[in-house]
Chains A and B, each alone.
Chain A
Amino acid sequence: MLKDITIGQYFPGDNLIHRLDPRFKIVMTLLYIIMLFMGDELYSLSFGIVYCIAALVLSKIPVKLFGKSIKPLLPILIMTAILDIIFIREGTVYFQAGFFKLTEDGVFTAVKMIVRIIFLIIGSMLLTYTTSPIQLTDAIERLLSPLKRLHFPVHSFAMMMTIALRFIPTLMIETDKIIAAQKARGAGFDSSKLRDKAKALVPVLIPLFVSAFRRAEELATAMECRCYRGDIGRTKMKSMNAGICDIVSLTITFIMFFAAATVAVLF
């Protein structure tokens, strides 16, 4: 049950996409997302799709993995499509029954929305699959470092994110264990009544909170023992250096971005 969630799961590999500087990857992903949502027509959308598929092929990550991540979002996708079809009433009418009108524009918008959301997910998944959480937060810290001038605690923010990501799998394993232990004492998790379901959560959530606080305290002590003082005088073991590959990739992304923008404006 809990094993199937893949938030920020890193899929180790050694290829162009994996090796790219994470800072560049984040910027490229942002450009890509804007690219997806820029134009209203299929022409501009196709740039994003081509870009994403190219990156997907280069990353050598099995497509099956993405399918698994999209599956839980299917209800949202279907809902979006249904709403689009019901509320967009312009264009050629295919079919009409009372209030309900199936129009060309409605179908078209629904398809575009689904494609967009799917590619949005694939694109952001690609970032987390090819970049380890540590690299990611490190890159975010670097990218946000100009905000330090405004006294924004960039380092603490990045550290908090790193720790949160680090503890997701730990807490999931813990939850599984607690559920098993309470089941052994006859806790019912299979009742279909909402009231019973909510009641069954208490024996799981309380131990989970207690253990999360315990871990937080232990971690804080451990960090203090190692003289952690935030980013004062802290150096990085792995410094990030942009190479020729990074610059070329970013340039290509920018060219695609402006091409998509031009097409979006022109058509």
Chain B
Amino acid sequence: MIILRAEELTYQYSTGTPFEKTAIDHVNLEIEEGAFVGVIGSTGSGKSTLMQHFNGLLKPSSGHIYLNGQDIWADKNKLRDVRFRVGLVFQYPEYQLFEENVYRDIAFGPSNMGLNDAEIKLRVYEAAAFTGLTEEQLFQSPFALSGGQKRRAAIAGVMAMKPEVLILDEPTAGLDPMGREEILAEIKKYHQKTGCTVMLVSHSMEDVSRYTDKLLVMDKGKIFCYADTNEVFKCADELARIGLAVPEITRICNSLRKKGIPLDESIYTVDEAVRQIVHYYKSKSGGDV
């Protein structure tokens, strides 16, 4: 089932002035329900702009966005509803925290939905569990938390709305490797448990390659390709041309393959590479490695 569909979507900045710029250029796209989609592209490729169209924050200059087959701009009064159904976590979301404690900040979205207190409480605790926030932290001031915890609190604030589609714009930007791993793992867990559609915008090929099923590659406001993650990494050369590097391990395996070691074209995790290389040497030396 298709949950989100963009049809001939175009977005221009500063139309009619000398600064006119087409950020999104006639994009056609279908996102399947329940998919975990990675979105990559170099700076200025239109990733973030496209994401802000999906929850109706930006109005397309032309073209349409359909959520479950319904044009989201057909009825302006329902736009707020669309924002609850398509949750968007912005870049550096910790800068939008404002409440006196974390609990109330996470509850901001659900209470805007008009839910009752019991339901809000349930959702806040659920979202806090997904993001690994402790009960104690829930009643601290959001400004007293560490950077990584603030980020989690902000992400939980969107998860608590239980959106059908969760979009995260660079959720790991500016975090240390440990923090990145943890947050990505939590998002993956959220996807598996709730089964909802997740879109993850990132600069890092390493990040998206390990967690996503499908990959949307953007270049200069257009869709460069949209395919299964392992298919995308087969075109390392094309990706390099638009300024994107495949994960390091994929590059190493490609070099090895050129030297005659028969490895798969779509290796993008170290574990898989190790498995295949060991397998190769085992078969070569008759099994005693």
Contacts and interface: CB of A to CB of B under 8 A. Distances in A.
Given A178-B95, A180-B90, A202-B98, A188 B143 contact: no
A interface majority secondary structure:
helix
Nearest to B84: A186
A184 B83 contact: yes
A185 B52 contact: no
A185 B109 contact: yes
Given A184-B83, A184-B88, A178 B57 contact: no
A60 interface: no
Contacts of A186: 80, 83-84, 109, 112-113, 161
Contact of B90 (A184, A187, A202, A206): A184
A233 to B, nearest CB: 37
Nearest to B90: A181
Q: Is the interface of B mostly helix, strand, loop or mixed?
A: helix
Contacts, number: 55
Interface in A165-189: 174, 177-178, 180-188
A207 B90 CA distance: 14
B158 interface: yes
A186 B87 CA distance: 10
Contacts of B97: 207
Contacts of A207: 95-98
A178 B80 contact: no
Contacts of A174: 95
A244 interface: no
Nearest to A178: B96
Contacts of B112: 185-188
Taking each of A174, A181, A206, A211, which has the highest tally of chain B beta carbons within 10 Å of its own beta carbon?
A: A181
B157 interface: yes
Interface residues of A, number: 18
Contact of A183 (B57, B98, B157, B158): B57
Contacts of B108: 182, 185, 187, 203
Interface string A34-76: 0000000000000000000000000000000000000000000
A180 B87 CA distance: 12
Nearest to B77: A190
22 contacts: A174-B95, A178-B96, A180-B52, A181-B90, A181-B96, A182-B96, A182-B108, A184-B83, A184-B88, A184-B89, A184-B158, A185-B157, A185-B158, A186-B109, A186-B161, A187-B108, A188-B112, A202-B98, A203-B98, A207-B95, A207-B96, A207-B97
Task: List 4 tightest A-B contacts by C-beta distance, closest first.
Answer: A186-B112, A206-B98, A185-B109, A181-B96
Interface of B: 52, 55, 57, 80, 83-84, 87-90, 93, 95-98, 108-109, 112-113, 143, 157-158, 161
Interface of A: 174, 177-178, 180-188, 202-203, 206-207, 210-211
